[in-house]
Amino acid sequence: MLTQRLVLTGDETDDAPLIQQAAAIIRAGGLVAFPTETVYGLGADALNSEAVRRIFLAKERPAWDPLIVHVDTPEAIYRYTRDHSVLTEQLIRAFMPGPLTLVLPKREMISEVVTAGRDTVAIRMPSHPVARALIHYSGTPIAAPSANKFGRPSPTTADHVLHDLNGEIEAVLDAGQTPMGVESTIVDLTTHPPTLLRPGGVPKEALETILGEVRVLVGQYEEGEALPAPGLSARHYAPQAKLFLCAPTPEAFYGTLKDTLSRYAFVGAMRPEGWHTPPEPRLRIFEWGAWGDWATLANRLFLGLRALEKQQVHAIVCPLPPEEGLARALHDRLQRAAHD
Ligand code: TXA
Ligand code: MG
């Protein structure tokens, strides 16, 4: 199959026909990768089980890992889910459209292919104008995981999507780099208190202003272990090189790099602005951004891991951000990527 790259300009009038072309592919049961404010998604008509099955095949994703359904209005959230409380409404008002996914009991029209046999569905309303237009023109909710092969770093550019999925999907809508660069926050509203299943673009602290207490799942889970929620396996988002995390100080970074260079032939560094690295031709450097500027570091995290991997380093050294605010999402993704 030939994968079409539909390049958008950001001009609504120019872009509309291309997004309509992509919507026609979705309606016909095809697969289209598209930008959201977090990462690129791999979309199919959520109400067409055959189309949704193709997502799992293209991604090589195990059937037990359910998908997020993307909609463009609050009404659609209510249409496909049930048992809402006042909290649902407050979360929608505060954070949507935006990088928040709610897990709620599903209604019948959402098939078990989407939810991997569960009676809950993960649903979100992206804020990216291209994602919103695609859902609107498709006239159907769009099921979409991140548009990478299973277990790989999420794609933040159309090039990343094509690297993983060229020839296996009908089209990719190319709108350049996605603004946030890490995935949505997932909160399960079927538990009391609600459970944070994945830290992401909306910080836990912001959720707590509405939800009060939020339960956090602790510990890491091995593949095949009974997971409290799907998609929590310890190893995920991983580049091909071995990832070493270090304490977030320039001294620890320098020391870990020296040590790693003594054990691996080619080493990559996710370097914060102004931090020093050993003078060494076997070192490949990705200029990550200013430490503490979590928005920029999130935007460039998967970009950096993929860029270093492309330079065929055997190991990557990266300082580990703290578990607070938006940095919590970076901490989570890096810990999973570093797990053997
Ligand atoms: O930002 C995002 O959320 C991106 C963009 C494309 O929207 N999507 C994304 O999807 O990250 P994915 O499939 O890579 O991760 C979704 C995760 C799954 O791994 C699974 O853990 C969780 O959402 N999930 C989906 N349905 C669920 C359910 N019913 N109960 C619990 N977790 C669920
Ligand atoms: Mg994913």
**For the segment 52-75, what is each residue's pLDDT rounded down to a tens digit?**
999 999 999 999 999 999 999 999
Cα of 94 vs centre of ligand 1, distance in Å, is: 20
Atom index in ligand 1 nearest the CA of residue 184 equals 1
pLDDT at 228 over 90: no
Mean pLDDT of 177-205: 97
Whether the CB-CB separation of 33 and 174 falls below 8 Å is answered with: no
What is the per-residue DSSP string for 1-33?
Answer: -PPEEEE--S-HHHHHHHHHHHHHHHHTT--EE
Termini Cα distance of the chain: 34
> What is the reported pLDDT for 238?
74
Coil, strand, or helix at residue 306? Answer: helix
Here the tokens at position 280 are 């060494």
Average pLDDT taken over every residue of the chain: 94
Residue type, 193: P
How remote is the CA of residue 145 from the centroid of ligand 1, in Å? 6
**CA-CA-CA-CA dihedral for 218, 220, 226, 230, to nearest 10:** 80
Is the pLDDT at 167 greater than 70? The verdict is yes
Whether residue 319 contacts residue 257, with contact meaning beta carbons closer than 8 Å, is answered with no
- Radius of gyration from C-alpha coordinates of the chain: 20
Return the pLDDT at 339.
86
pLDDT value of position 229: 60
Distance of CA 10 to the CA centre of its chain: 22
Tokens found for residue 51: 């189309």
d(CA 279, CA 42): 41
Q: For atom 3 of ligand 1, which residue has the closest CA? A: 184
For the segment 142-151, the average pLDDT, to the nearest whole number, is 96
Reported confidence tier of residue 276, pLDDT bands at 50, 70, 90:
very high
Structure tokens at 29: 């049961």
Q: What token pair was written down for 221?
A: 């889970």
CA distances from 241 to 208, 213, 238, 277 (A): 36, 38, 8, 19
Give pLDDT, residue 217.
80
The answer, yes or no, to whether residue 37 has pLDDT greater than 90, is: yes
Min mean pLDDT across 74-78, 224-228, 243-247, 285-289 is at 224-228
**Mean pLDDT across the stretch 209-216?**
95
Order of strands, sheet of 100-105, starting from the edge strand that comes earlier in the sequence: 4-7, 171-174, 32-35, 40-45, 142-144, 68-70, 120-124, 100-105, 185-188, 195-198, 215-216
Among 183, 191, 198, 223, the mutation site with the greatest number of ligand 1 atoms within 8 A of its Cβ is 183
Mean pLDDT of all residues in 137-151: 97
Tell me what pLDDT residue 340 has.
76
Residue 225 has pLDDT above 80, yes or no: no
Is residue 28 over pLDDT 70? yes
The helix (H) or strand (E) run that includes residue 44 is: strand 40-45
Residue type, 223: E
Q: What is the pLDDT of residue 239?
A: 75
Instruction: State pTM to two decimals.
Output: 0.95
Neighbour count for residue 158 (Cβ, 10 Å): 24
From the CA of 262, how far away is ligand 2's center (Å)? 33
Tokens 């430490």 — which residue?
Answer: 291
